[in-house]
Amino acid sequence: MRIRCRICAPIPSRPCEFCLSLQDDSVFADFDVNETGCLVLARISFDGFGCCATRDDIEAMCADDSRALLKMIEDGALDSEECDRILRAYFQQNRDVIWPDALDHHALS
């Protein structure tokens, strides 16, 4: 099953560079860009599980995937196999920080 993904407006109480709505608005992933230009998941909120704050413990996305995902966001091209691959790989890379049961429940692993 592919990840359904779209850009959404950040919520003022959850500051971030950009927010992705995943799986028909059942998951919201808030991303920042670090000093090297790589994406870092600030927090991820799952329906039925709550909000998982990740900023202090998560690893940054690799530079190539960060550039590719930022380009997809800029182009409005998030409905792609490449976007799916990048997000799944990043969530798997940080499975020890992001709640694995929530990732599995929402088909993000």
Continuous segment of H or E residues that includes residue 7: strand 5-8
Could you write out the DSSP letters of every residue in 13-49?
TS--SEEEEETTTTEEEEEEE-TTS-EEEEEEEETTT
Rounded to whole angstroms, the Cα distance separating 109 from 100 reads 8
pTM above 0.85, yes or no: yes
Specify the pLDDT at position 80. 92
CA–CA distance from 87 to each of 13, 41, 92, 107 (Å)? 24, 11, 8, 12
pLDDT tens sequence across 5-27: 999 987 888 889 999 999 999 99
